[in-house]
Structure 1
Amino acid sequence: MNLPKPKYGHHLGSIDDFVTGDKKQLLHDLVQEAKSEALTGFIGGPPCPDFSVAGKNKGSDGDNGVLTRVYVDSIVQNQPDFFLFENVKGLWRTVKHRAFYDEMK
């Protein structure tokens, strides 16, 4: 089919580096470069612990729950060709979390 090989990446530091830190422009540039060659997508979603009963339902105020907004902001800023937002059961089933979900849409 003569398709280009997929490129993958990872970062062992804080996501803040790519959202508000010195790597914010780097991420944008990498996405734009990748989009010129092939489809580019973001895959992620809300961290389960803060949106589940086991995690005390802290939601978007929890230590990990704040990352959901970071993920959505990154999608909006970088405009990938597609994104996948993995659902957590508690995100839709709980009234408190459903309001946050609707806000993110």
Structure 2
Amino acid sequence: ENGLIITSTFFKHHLRNLNTWKSPGYGCRNQIEFILINERFRNSVQRVRTYPGADSDNDHILLSRKIRLKLEKIYWKKTAPQLQLKLLILDNDIRTGFCQNVMDQYDGRPQ
């Protein structure tokens, strides 16, 4: 429905590397924590496993994911050429031509 998939069940690991929780006194272990990702990035996940020997002060086991990212190259749009206003001010021929074009455009518009 939301386009999410569980990546922690993709890979075949030993059972001790799949369990994410262990009971404090009884030794019962379960996989109760999962890593969800968008289906679009399914192929970017390289490894998901737990590290039971990690030093933590609770009954949960460290869950780790290794991914491969491919960054897309950004293409910058070319900017429009800048108007050369100095030529418009200094050159009389260009100035009169520009003024004439502006006047022609305004004369042709209905009021």
TM-score using structure 2 length: 0.18
**Structure with the bigger percentage of helix:** 1
Bigger CA radius of gyration:
2
**Structure with the bigger percentage of strand:** 2
Relative contact order higher in (CA < 8 Å, ≥ 6 apart): 1
